[in-house]
Structures are given as structure tokens and as C-alpha cells.
Chains A and B, each alone.
Chain A
């Protein structure tokens, strides 16, 4: 794609709900939806009206006075950005008088603006420069000697962009972007009149302010006042490729803007249907890891993990992998090896890894990192609704009247969706937050939860069942909906179950910690407040009753009729970029692509016919089962693509023991991650910038990942898997990932209509996409559930066996932070460490005082599984008795602390409940010291002697 700056229509589109309006602009007839601005109407017919303060990402503002027009029958020169069209209106955008007025406005702007266009970093990409040309400005009569703003210190504190107030025209676009698009309200126009200037927080530098570095202000700025440092360093881009972000499950579409082969910046794509032109600090700026000096670009092998790595050619590495897996299977049996697919890789790559294992290894020992995050979502929603996926698209939130957020902190975990949710909340939607922590949503700028239910960790099911008790007991259930859409007998069983007195809010208050009156009020609001939409995260799934909680949520939605239309639904906020896709592609050990069980003869026969081998009808091992089998001595080989189970999975000591017990561990990744410390073969992977494919986001939206540059390691990841498959004797001949998706479509009914061409044509496609829904399915279960009748499932509260007591009196929950992604392998290798250089332990002031802990003190964190040390941060974000930390830094290894307890149905780890003790510490734990030394030795790479 050649360089084409995105077309800016000046003002936002209006929903096409009212009548169309016909008018005449510059003697041309144009018809647009009622409510459209004259500026946008003109732009739609190809006429660009000069503007500075207007952009189609923001509400009209009408301050720059450059977009004036003449309208027959109206006095004066109204601003076209704030004047809506009217039937029969006759507008002129180009007259001698308008030209004179606009030139006068521009003259004033330029009289207080540096005239350094030739050396300005925005030269050629500056709206002010363009407008000066558009209005024919040839001289500035006022001179430059008067009072001005041409001398000011540049704010370079932010690692990714600069703020040069001398270039600022105070158009307020950055302030409005921070307000309307991001919702942080970190920026303001401080001072009045001539003193007006843009200020971050309390006139602070950007880095220390409340700015979250989403980049919306930089994108909105019409000059170089706010500009990416990468543009300053590399120059303006000359071409762009639209692709999909490889960070969280929101799946933002970006324009990768390049100069030649060098990536200059990532700019959120306005036509991206998941992000609608917005971004967060990770996707927008944190892509430098792709060329980090620690990236491994050559394959490496070693005989044992205590030896240094030896660089080898691809041929030798691939042959070694194939021979080792064949040797192990010949020695220990067919089921002695397996593999793990990655939610960071594309659908096509994931499909190939599970195919390699089923077709090549001859077993179903394949699992994916969804095991440790959203596997309960798959189980719970398939059981109740019939489909292992969320029910809505992100746009749906704009129709929600009551939003219930359970166990999720989208501000940090899914920031771009959080911004859209907050926009709806600022418009008046009600908010219920169910979370042990006082997350940002509970109270922040112009957002306040109507109800915060600060439950004790591990009591989700009791709280949701108590809400159901209120809904049923107070006659708030939607009986007509239930009779039509759900199994009525199962509903009655469920209703009787939740109505039992000991499940009431009052009876469970002591257990859950949630005041009964608050819970009742929240239940009433959800049931009666209009469109009720539930959004949930890992605070739901990562419990011993994760699957039960998902089903309890589904029960609530069905009971209130909140499924099957826009504005409602059950919406899992997926963690990694392709969690949904990796699950869709058959990464679980019990099912093929499209969630069909391996024991189903018809499905298996279809795959056997396509792949030409008999397939194992028995389910394979989950990740935790593989590690157990390894320590039992019967599981000996593991192929891991793009995962770091040593850092991300629970009970690190056990993970390490499992890996150490294997004879061949293959890691395919960008960096020597923590798991690679136990690997025998390292296959260097490619970044999302270096390959073609697709990702599927939390909305079931399949989007193209487009190759922006050649892979530094030589191969895209799908090509590497194909090399392994061919070395193992499989006749794979894919020449492009689109052929892999074609195979997925042939074998998977819900993907039957999906192809790269269709996705490219429409920008994205939400599955199911087949004969019944050729262009995909934004909202699921309209008119009926995928499984037929919606299934109410009795969800009994079963307390976790992870108990607090005198030795471990506090409850630890773990999570993530805005600036880092998962184990941090990528973001730790970017300037994002400026915000979060280390994992911190959040502890309530009361608990801190009892232990003599002050802010920034080193503390030990000890559980029944292990011990680590980190610094404390004393905060009321956590309740007394609860502590919280992130798992982004291997130096901390938070998962040394977490235990093997897991969800009863899926073995998703219980990351959110670990009994711990905290106390002052004066140094790293024994485990940390031992691990640091082991990691140092394991990462040695032999240097070949010079010839």
C-alpha cells in the first residue's frame, strides 16, 4: 500500500436512523443523513473545507474559524463544522470573501508560529502548513516582534513523543482527544486569553502526569506540537500497511507507517472495527522489541540444559527436532510427546501446530495458553449457550444501559475497549463493579460505579447466585423470554435452587463480604435497568470455580433476557491477542477446530480423510497434565510455540521440575525466555510485523495480519512448523497462510465462509461466517441459542481449598498493568519499563502497618508453594486482608507463589486466590538467587572461534 494519509471528513458520522437530507454545496447536489455537518457533507462529495480544530475523531468544536461558509438566506459566515445540513440548503465554500476571512485567520496563527517548516519534523505532514497553502497565505503583516509563544522548553519526558508548545496553536484537539476518545482527561487548556496553553495534569511534564500515553493527542495534533519521537528521528513515512495489533484481545487495527523498509510509527486505523481509530501505549508505541538486541535470530541446539547453546543452521535444527521426537516416541510411546500453541501467534500458525501434533505425533497432546486464562469461558459458554465465545461486538456497549464488570480491570487490561465503555458511562449508562479491588472503574474522572461489590476473593459463585436469588425472589426474571428461548424445566430447577434461603444476600454476606443491601440493589438494577451487559475477565475464570462462575453469569443473563440483541450479552474480555483464535483452531486436547470433540466419529472421519492418517479418538493431556506426566517419567518431549510457561503458569517450581524431566523441549520464540532455560532446541520466531495471517479478537472478529517487513530470523512461524512437519514425513506444501485458512474453512462449519479475500474486502469478519451468515455474526444467539434452548446450570458454591490461616493470613491475587503485556517478554524490551520497571506488591495500609511495612520497602511474599521478594506499595486499592501483584518480571516470578489449585472443569489455575504471608525482607529469596544463576548459565551461547 502506498502512502495515503487517512482521509479526515472533519466531523463524525451520524447514525443513519433519521431521514436523508438533500442540499446544494458549490452548485452540486448532495444527500446525507440528517444531523450531518456541512463540513462532512462537503467532504463526502470531495470538497475539502479548510479546518484546523475539526477532525472526524472528535465532536465539533467551532473554534478555529477557518471553516466558515456562506449559506443562502443566512447572515454571516457560519462555521461549517458546527452547522448541520438542512433540506434545500444552498452552501458556498469557496468565495472571495471566505478566502479573505480565512487568510486573515491563518495570518494570526502564523504570526505566533515558528517559521521553520523546512527543518520541522512534521514537514509535509502538517495541517497548519497545508492550510496556509490552502488559503493562499503569502505574507504576515503583523511581524514577529510582538509578544509571542516562540520560546518555550520542549517537554521530552515521555519516552515516545514530545510536546513543543512553541508549535501549539491551542486548537484543543489534544485536550478533546484525551477527553472524548481516551477518557482520561489528563490534558486541559490552562490560563486565559494570551496565556492559554496546554497543560498535562497540574501543569506537569507528560511522564509524571496522569497521561496514559495512548497517543490520541499525538494523533489529533494538527502541527508538530505533539509528535512521535520516532518521526523526529527517522523522518515522515512514505508508505503504510494496515495490520492488526499483537497485544491484547481487543485486536486494534493499525496502519504500520514506514519509510522504505523501516517502521516509523504505528497509527490506529480509523476504519478498524474493534478500535475505531484508538489505541493504547502498547500497540501504539511498544513495538521496538521487534528489533531488540536480545532477539535470537539463529536456531540453537544443545544436548542438555546445563550446556551452553550452539548456533546451527535451520536444516540441522529442524532435522534434530524431528529425530528427537521420533526417537522419544519409539522409546516411550506415541503419547510421550506433545505441544503447546500460542495465543500470540496467528490462527494459521496455531492450526498448524495442533495439526502437527494430531497428524504427525499421532496423539491429542496439544494445549494452549488459554488453559491458564479463559478455558472456563469455553466450557461455561458452550455448556449454557452452545458456543465457546462472547456474544457481542464491542460496538454493542454503546447500546448498553447497565454495564456489569466482573473480575476485570479493562482500564489496564483492555484499555481501548475501556475507553469506549467509559464513553458510554459518561453518557449515562449505569455501572456495577464486582471486584475485590477498587479498580479505576469504581471511581475515576467522570466515572463512578453505581454499585461496587467488593467481594472476598473466591466467592464469585456465591455473589452471583445471591443476585439470582434476588432476581427470582423479587419476580424480576423475564419469564416470557425464558419460556421462549430456554429449557423451562431446567430454569425451574435452577430457580428453586437459587431461591433456597441460605443462598440469599443476607445469608451469604458474612461469606462474601458484600453488604446484602448493596447486592440486592445491584441485582435489581441489572434486571430492570434496560439493556444489561456483562463484561468479565480473569477475576472470573482463574478460580477453582471459574467454569461455575461463567455459567452463573450466563444464568443471570438468560434469566433477565439479556442475550440475543445489541446492548446486552455476556462478554469475556480476552487476555492475549489471539486467545479466541487459538481456541477456535483446535488447540485444546479434547477438540478439533470449531470446538468439536475428538471422540465424535463423523468429525474425526472428516479430518482423517483430509489429513490421510487415523486420528486418536481419546482426549490428550492439558498443560498441567503434561507436566505431571513428565515428573512421572512418561512424558518426554514438548514443542512450545510462543509461550513462556515457566513464567506464566502456576507453581513455577513444579513447572521447572516437569520441564527438567523431559528429554527434548523445543521453544520457538523471539527471545530466550524463561522456559528456554529448560529447552534443548531454540527455533527463532518472527514478530507479527514479519508475517501474514489472521488474529481473532474477543468479539470473534477475524482480522488480517499483514507482513510489514521481511522476517529477521528468515522464516515466518508457520513456515518453521511446516519445516518440522516435512522433516517428520508429512506432505505439507502451503505457500501462503491463506491456504491454511482455506483448509480451516473446509473443515470447520463456523468458518466455512471465511477466506483472506473476504476479510480483506470487508476489513474483518466475525465468525460464525457460513451460508447462514455470509458476512459473519456481530451478535450471537438472536432469536435462539446456538445449542437450541439456553441451558440453566445449577452452580453450587464450593469454597476453594486454598485457605488462609495463622501462617498465611492474607489472600494474594495477581493481574496485569497497562504498560506491560503478559510475561513482559515484549514490553520489558521497550521504553514501557519507564512506567513499570518492576512488579510491586499492593498492600492495604492496615496490613502494612501491622507488619511495619512502608511504601517501597522490600518485602517477602510467601505461600505454601514458594517465596519471592519484591517492593511494597501501600494503597487502599486493595481491601484489608488482600494483597495484589503483577507477573510481568522474571526477577520477581510471582508464580513461584501461586499453587496447583485449579478450576474443577478445566484446570485453569487459581491465580486469584493464594494464601500468603508478607513481611519485611532484606534480600532475594533462595529461589530467586538460585534461579538467577541457573538462568545466567542456561543463556550462554558458544562463540565460534575465528577462522
Chain B
């Protein structure tokens, strides 16, 4: 992880969270990932990761991508 930019770290972290929820099954994992970001990430990090998701969708795993879509929808 050393040598990553801060943006790369954010992407890494959301993928890591999603991967650890993966065993719950897709739907539960998406919900759990979104809930985790809501509970533990500060507003700037959430805003930034949504921007990164829009710019670099291929860098995100499916669960993370879906969770961020829901996060964006919930945030309006």
C-alpha cells in the first residue's frame, strides 16, 4: 500500500471493505458496505470516493461499485 496516492488508498479501502463483506452474499454485502461507509467515513472521503467511482469505475469491485451507487442515491 505504501507508494499509493491518497485517492488510490480510498479505492483500495472501499474494495477491501467490500471484499470482507462478500461472504454475506451480493445484496447483503452491498448494503453492509454502504452502511459501513455511512457510519465510519467522513463527508469529504465519501464525496471523494463517489467522484473516483465515477471517474474510475473499473477500479472498483462490483460490490463496492453498487454500494457507492446506493450511497450516491441516498445522498441525493
Contact = CB atoms under 8 A, between A and B. Distances in A.
A and B bound? yes
Interface of A: 335, 364-365, 497, 544-545, 548, 589-590, 597, 599, 618-622, 625, 628-629, 631-632, 634, 651, 654, 794-796, 798, 801-802, 863-865, 899-901, 904-907
Given A335-B42, A590-B40, A796-B22, A631 B6 contact: yes
A590 B22 contact: no
Contact of B9 (A544, A628, A906): A628
A904 B39 contact: no
Interface residues of B, number: 23
B39 A590 contact: yes
A618 B1 CA distance: 27
B23 A796 contact: yes
B9 A634 contact: no
A904 B43 CA distance: 19
B44 A794 contact: no
Nearest to B17: A904
Of B9, B41, B42, B43, most buried by chain A (CB within 10 Å of CB) is B42
A497 B9 CA distance: 30
22 contacts: A335-B43, A544-B16, A548-B20, A619-B39, A619-B42, A621-B42, A621-B45, A625-B42, A628-B9, A794-B23, A795-B23, A796-B22, A796-B23, A798-B16, A798-B19, A798-B20, A865-B2, A899-B2, A904-B17, A905-B17, A905-B20, A905-B40
Nearest to A588: B40
Interface of B: 1-4, 6, 9, 13, 16-17, 19-20, 22-24, 36, 38-45
Q: Which of A548, A599, A794, A801 has the most CB of B within 10 A?
A: A794
A674 B36 CA distance: 34
A632 B6 CA distance: 8
A770 B70 CA distance: 40
Nearest to A617: B43
Nearest to A865: B2
Given A796-B23, A801-B1, 5 more contacts: A364-B42, A622-B40, A904-B16, A904-B19, A906-B40
B45 A625 contact: yes
A631 B24 CA distance: 35
Contacts of B3: 864
Nearest to B15: A904
Q: Nearest 10 A-B pairs (CB), nearest first?
A: A796-B23, A865-B2, A900-B1, A904-B16, A904-B20, A628-B6, A794-B23, A901-B1, A618-B43, A899-B2
Contacts of B20: 545, 548, 796, 798, 904-905
Contacts of A548: 20
B42 A634 contact: no
Nearest to B42: A621
Contacts of A907: 13
B46 to A, nearest CB: 9
Most buried by A among B3, B6, B16: B16
Contacts of A865: 2
Contacts of A590: 39-40
B2 A597 contact: no
Nearest to A901: B1
A899 B40 contact: no
B64 to A, nearest CB: 12
A620 B1 contact: no
B42 A900 contact: no
B22 A335 contact: no
Contacts of A801: 1
B9 A900 contact: yes
A796 B24 CA distance: 9
Given A589-B42, A629-B44, A900 B22 contact: no
A597 B38 CA distance: 11
B40 A619 contact: yes
Nearest to A621: B42
A631 B8 CA distance: 14
A795 B23 CA distance: 8
A460 B64 CA distance: 25
A625 B23 CA distance: 27
Nearest to A900: B1
A936 to B, nearest CB: 27
Contacts of B16: 544, 798, 904
Contacts of A632: 6
Considering residues B3, B24, B41, which has the most beta carbons from chain A within 10 angstroms of its beta carbon?
B41
A620 B16 CA distance: 20
A597 B6 CA distance: 26
A629 B6 CA distance: 8
Contacts of B44: 335, 629, 634
